[in-house]
């Protein structure tokens, strides 16, 4: 039974946004204080295809989320990476029902947390599934994680992982921390580790594709006695972030104003080490595999080894932005192991590259975090009284934080003496246009200003 239909529906919307070839990453908000104490998901392991930028169609195995909670109806779209699983603050249990439509047994494990009563399966003296198995061709199994540890985790197949994880059976799990004496949830945000609060979070899941294995599996030519008998010859050709390999048309990932405390959840579902670097800024690395890091360091790069998760806090102030980024609002994130910045060797940029873009709601090429009037175009950013509210949104001429009757005589004097504090439309004069603007802003507070956005 589904505990919260609206929550599941919202997650489904997010899944649709993840699907596709060239999509923007999506901001995900954490949930707060909901009443139920278990997060429950219905997943189906099944085949699918993904198409690479060069047109190569790759046979994949992935997970679909069954939104109606009825695995027999098989709704939901199979994606690689799989759907994002969330355990909100206040929940301590995760339940996953798995239906396996693959031609071989499969399973699901969370790397870092053992499900209750987990039992491995052996075959020929070697482990086949590290945890409880679902039989091929429709078998089901239910996993329960009681007292789940908060943090950022990978979930993936626990059956013949060398094959099944490579085929695409992986996704991200984010579990938020219960309220406690050290955890102070920010408005609209969450807590993840003691003392670490965040406003928004962002999942960046790194993965690779070696087409050779997928072709062999598709042709039923992988396994003992077949042409490909092991994955020792692994040689990836495609490199992806959140399932997307960079192309010229790749859209950047929106990260709000950048002034919020952003928790970036880095996960590596690949088999090789990647070195994500944020261009031009530092981040604070706060967690390793969902455990708090002692004395969190500031680095511009992260060593993201195979199967690893790292969480980093990223937060900007306008003073951090060099001029080009103040206007474009865009800066890069890339794998510094630059041989992975390629789509199977094709010319031009590709692979594990993306960019972040800062919100510029009024579209005037000034990032909101530096914009002294949000939502209102004021390209010249005139702020004659230097209170970090642009004139265009600052009718608080006596700087008492209110626009009220006390400001009227000040406006009148400005009109008479051409005091440019009263130039509320950036036309370099104080005239009836400014009077009209004053009346629009009457009874408001000054702003909003991006320069005043951080507490």
Residue with Cβ nearer another protein (201 or 335): 335
Task: Find the helix or strand (DSSP H, E) in which 141 lies.
Answer: strand 139-145
Residue with Cβ nearer another protein (337 or 452): 337
Residue with Cβ nearer another protein (200 or 335): 335
For residue 236, what are the CA distances in angstroms to 205, 239, 373?
A: 16, 8, 47
Q: How far is the CB of 428 from another protein (least distance, A)?
A: 27
For residue 329, what are the CA distances in angstroms to 258, 293, 455?
A: 9, 30, 21
Residue with Cβ nearer another protein (28 or 342): 342
- For residues 273 and 340, the answer to whether their CB atoms sit within 8 Å is no
Q: How far is the CB of 403 from another protein (least distance, A)?
A: 35
Q: How far is the CB of 237 from another protein (least distance, A)?
A: 5
Residue 297, SS3?
Answer: coil
Q: How far is the CB of 113 from another protein (least distance, A)?
A: 8
Residue 450, SS3?
Answer: helix
For residue 178, what are the CA distances in angstroms to 29, 192, 332, 336, 380?
A: 16, 8, 33, 36, 46
Residue with Cβ nearer another protein (351 or 390): 351
Residue with Cβ nearer another protein (66 or 133): 133
Q: How far apart are the first and last CA of the chain?
A: 41
- Sign of the Cα torsion 23, 190, 155, 111 reads positive
In angstroms, rounded to a whole number, what is the distance separating the alpha carbons of residues 242 and 240?
6
Burial of 393 (0-12, 13-18, 19+ CB in 10 A): buried
Q: How far is the CB of 42 from another protein (least distance, A)?
A: 23
Q: How far is the CB of 304 from another protein (least distance, A)?
A: 10
Q: How far is the CB of 301 from another protein (least distance, A)?
A: 5
Residue with Cβ nearer another protein (340 or 453): 340
């Amino acid at each position: 039974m589904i505990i919260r239909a609206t929550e599941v529906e919202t997650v489904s919307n997010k899944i649709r946004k993840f699907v596709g070839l060239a999509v923007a990453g999506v901001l995900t908000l954490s949930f707060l204080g909901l009443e139920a104490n278990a997060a429950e998901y219905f997943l189906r392991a099944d085949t699918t295809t993904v198409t690479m930028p060069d047109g190569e169609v790759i046979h994949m195995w992935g997970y679909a989320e069954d939104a109606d909670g009825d695995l027999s109806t098989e709704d939901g779209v199979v994606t690689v990476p799989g759907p994002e699983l969330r355990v909100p603050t206040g929940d301590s249990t995760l339940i996953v029902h798995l239906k396996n439509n693959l031609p071989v047994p499969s399973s699901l494990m969370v790397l870092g947390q053992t499900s209750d009563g987990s039992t491995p399966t052996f075959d020929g003296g070697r482990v086949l599934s590290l945890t409880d198995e679902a039989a091929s061709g429709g078998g089901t199994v239910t996993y329960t994680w009681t007292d789940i540890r908060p943090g950022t985790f990978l979930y993936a197949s626990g059956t013949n992982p060398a094959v099944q994880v490579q085929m695409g059976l992986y996704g991200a799990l984010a579990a938020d921390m219960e309220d406690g004496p050290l955890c102070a949830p920010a408005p609209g945000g969450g807590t993840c580790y003691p003392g670490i609060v965040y406003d928004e979070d962002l999942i960046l899941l790194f993965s690779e594709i070696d087409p050779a294995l997928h072709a062999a599996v598709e042709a039923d030519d992988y396994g003992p006695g077949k042409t490909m008998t092991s994955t020792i010859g692994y040689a990836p050709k495609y490199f992806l972030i959140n399932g997307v390999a960079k192309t010229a048309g790749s859209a950047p990932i929106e990260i709000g104003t950048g002034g919020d405390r952003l928790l970036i959840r880095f996960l590596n579902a690949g088999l090789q080490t990647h070195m994500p670097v944020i261009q031009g800024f530092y981040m604070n690395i706060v967690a390793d595999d969902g455990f708090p890091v002692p004395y969190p360091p500031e680095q511009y790069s992260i060593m993201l080894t195979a199967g690893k998760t790292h969480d980093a806090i990223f937060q900007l102030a306008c003073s951090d932005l060099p001029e080009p980024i103040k206007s474009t609002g865009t800066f890069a994130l890339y794998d510094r192991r630059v041989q992975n910045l390629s789509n199977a060797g094709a010319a031009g940029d590709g692979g594990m590259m993306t960019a972040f873009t800062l919100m510029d709601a009024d579209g005037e090429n000034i990032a909101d975090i530096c914009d002294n009037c949000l939502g209102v175009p004021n390209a010249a950013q005139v702020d004659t009284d230097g209170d970090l509210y642009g004139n265009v949104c600052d009718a608080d001429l006596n700087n008492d934080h209110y626009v009220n009757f006390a400001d009227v005589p000040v406006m009148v004097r400005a009109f008479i003496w051409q005091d440019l504090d009263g130039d509320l439309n950036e036309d370099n004069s104080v005239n009836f246009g400014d009077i009209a603007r004053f009346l629009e802003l009457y009874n408001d507070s000054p702003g909003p200003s991006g320069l005043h956005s951080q507490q």
